[in-house]
């Protein structure tokens, strides 16, 4: 219930109406959105019980490893009610045709399998918020100072997921496992998304804000 309370408000892409439609506009919109959503994610992480008790260095390491998984999981959850569309933001819903015209097809095709996977599981909001916190705590950063403290954070979030499933899904005793078994696909998808944006950064045609660049650099 605490994770539900700290869940951030809806986010809006607000594409620049003065820019001509196309590849540059679509990516400029997404990079600006990602930068603003990262600020929100950092604020959200601080409210996860136990996260702020970690050292500042470990908080940074977890976020630097997991930020794209969290961004992707947010997009995926927003898209669960749609058919083959991705809800990047409340006002930025992209179908395959739009994705093709705006140079977002690779990203679109990379994220959709994850949407299908969670649709099949009928993932609920309670499960989504818990899984998202688990993804952050389970980011496999190689730079963790206090491994025991991070393990305690993982354990408490894992326990929250088990409690949730114990209370709501007595008909499927394997549901916790099924949800956790989606995390490899989430990591794979986030890796593709990082690669996508990293190559855009290298091409240098799309403006990127500093935080987004900083987080991309941490993944380089």
Partner 1 sequence: KEKHKILHRLLQNST
Binding positions for partner 1, rule: CB under 8 A: 39, 42-43, 46, 56-57, 59-60, 63-64, 210-211, 214-215, 217-218
Residue 46 beta carbon to partner 1: minimum distance, rounded to whole angstroms: 7
Whichever of 11 and 180 has its CB closer to partner 1, that residue is: 11
Residue 45 beta carbon to partner 1: minimum distance, rounded to whole angstroms: 8
Whichever of 155 and 214 has its CB closer to partner 1, that residue is: 214
* H/E element, 93: strand 92-94
Residue 60 beta carbon to partner 1: minimum distance, rounded to whole angstroms: 6
Long-range contacts at 165-174 (CB < 8 A, ≥ 24 apart):
168/124, 168/126
Whichever of 58 and 85 has its CB closer to partner 1, that residue is: 58
Whichever of 39 and 109 has its CB closer to partner 1, that residue is: 39
Whichever of 63 and 164 has its CB closer to partner 1, that residue is: 63
3-state secondary structure 155-178: HHHHHHHHHHHHHHCCCCCCHHHH
Residue 149 beta carbon to partner 1: minimum distance, rounded to whole angstroms: 16
Residue 69 beta carbon to partner 1: minimum distance, rounded to whole angstroms: 16
Task: Spell out the residues 6+ positions from residue 5 whose beta carbon is closer than 8 angstroms to its own.
Answer: none
Backbone angles phi, psi at 208, to 5 degrees: -125, 140
Q: Which two tokens stand for residue 17?
A: 């109406």
Are 47 and 6 in contact by the 8 Å Cβ rule? The answer is yes
């Amino acid at each position: 219930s605490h994770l539900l309370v700290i869940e951030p408000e809806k986010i809006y892409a607000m594409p620049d109406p003065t820019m001509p439609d196309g590849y540059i506009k679509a990516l400029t919109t997404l990079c600006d959105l990602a930068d603003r959503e990262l600020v929100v994610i950092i604020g959200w992480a601080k409210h996860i019980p136990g996260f702020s008790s970690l050292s500042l260095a470990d908080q940074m390491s977890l976020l630097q490893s997991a930020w794209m998984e969290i961004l992707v999981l947010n997009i995926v959850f927003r898209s669960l009610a749609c058919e083959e569309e991705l809800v990047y933001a409340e006002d930025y819903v992209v179908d395959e045709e739009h994705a093709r015209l705006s140079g977002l097809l690779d990203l679109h095709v990379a994220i959709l399998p994850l949407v299908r996977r969670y649709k099949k599981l009928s993932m609920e909001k309670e499960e989504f918020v818990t899984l998202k916190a688990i993804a952050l705590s389970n980011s496999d950063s190689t730079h963790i100072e206090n491994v025991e403290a991070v393990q305690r954070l993982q354990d408490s979030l894992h326990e929250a997921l088990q409690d949730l499933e114990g209370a709501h899904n007595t008909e499927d005793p394997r549901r916790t496992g099924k949800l956790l078994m989606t995390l490899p696909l989430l990591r794979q998808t986030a890796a593709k998304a990082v690669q996508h944006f990293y190559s855009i950064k290298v091409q240098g045609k799309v403006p990127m804000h500093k935080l987004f660049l900083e987080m991309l650099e941490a993944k380089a």
